[in-house]
Amino acid sequence: MTAPSALQRLAESPGRFPGALLLTGPSVAALDVAARRLAAALLCPGGDPERRCDCCRRADAGLHPDLLRVEPEGVQIRVDRVREALIFGAGRPYEAERRVVVVSHAEMLGAEAANALLKSLEEPGERLRWILTTTRPEALLTTIRSRCVSAALPHPTAAERAALHHERGFSPEDAADLAQLAEGDDEAPDLAALRALRAQIAAALEAGLVERRLPALLLLAELAGARGEASTGRLLAEVLADSVLVASGASEFVRHQTLSGKLAELARGVAVEALRRAALKAADPPADNRRGNRRLHFEGLLIELFEGSG
């Protein structure tokens, strides 16, 4: 599905809305807005395109009697909340033609809760629609994903992210840097920490590939592969890709211009094809970290890069 047109078609044609929709995207806030608009469209008796009628306003505020939101409690969505949703969905609508259940942060469904959902996702009936939202669809059970129609929100451009940070009070320079460094919709990103992380990655690559110190690369692999350190892996992939651009004579397209000097050193010391292979691998790490496979993934690509440099 092409996200913008697909979501618009869904909102305009509630009768064609799938029984279970999995809505994905990089921003929790954007997913919440989209889910509320879709729920309002499903519940609106008059099909108000502006979503300004009384029904739509109540749905947007979470006050419509035929709308239920399921959210995490602590570290997961509990099975009790899913069972409540199943009972809600089995009831007759109070006002609308159907009932809608929105499951936010669906990646936080516990195994028992996810399994309790399966039958209803596959056969919700005529009067129930499910909307699941997540920024991490790979973390959902395959059985959940297979029972949903998926639609992805578009990723905002760097200019759009910079404009958002500028609106939040950051200077134009800091906003532009945050557009490259920050992920998701964090309203209070630690810019100093993100800049320090970028500098640490560049320094480790310089130490390992220019100064030929393999332990620096192994420490970088451990950092990039640690659970909850997706930003490190993403920035590593971007720095390697920027090195490819410098080596190819396309410095004007480099994302992280503040690293230009170090990128030039990397480009001189490492073959461009080796950098390109490493950048592609770094941008596609495995999702599961339970057995340390993310660390091994980054370790392997950095060792391969080390062996091909010098």
pLDDT of residue 2: 40
b/e map of 140-161 (b: 16 or more CB within 10 Å)? bbeebbebbebbbbeebeeeeb
3-152 belongs to which CATH class?
alpha beta
pLDDT at res. 285: 85
Please give the pLDDT value at position 48. 67
* Whole-number pLDDT of residue 184: 61
User: What is the fold of 190-307?
Assistant: Zinc Finger, Delta Prime; domain 3 (1.20.272)
Q: What is the pLDDT of residue 178?
A: 82
3-class secondary-structure state, position 69: strand
Q: What is the pLDDT of residues 214-253, one digit of tens each?
A: 999 999 999 998 866 668 888 999 999 999 999 998 988 8
Can you give the residue ranges of every domain in the chain? Answer: 3-152, 190-307
Q: What are phi and psi of 20, to 5 degrees?
A: -140, 125
Residue 4: its pLDDT value, please? 44
Q: What is the CA radius of gyration of the chain?
A: 23
Residues (pLDDT < 50) of the chain are: 1-4, 289
Number of H helices, E strands in the chain: 14, 5
Tens of pLDDT, residues 110-134:
889 999 999 999 999 889 999 999 9
| Cα(279)–Cα(268) distance, integer angstroms | 16
pTM: predicted TM-score of the whole model, two decimal places: 0.60
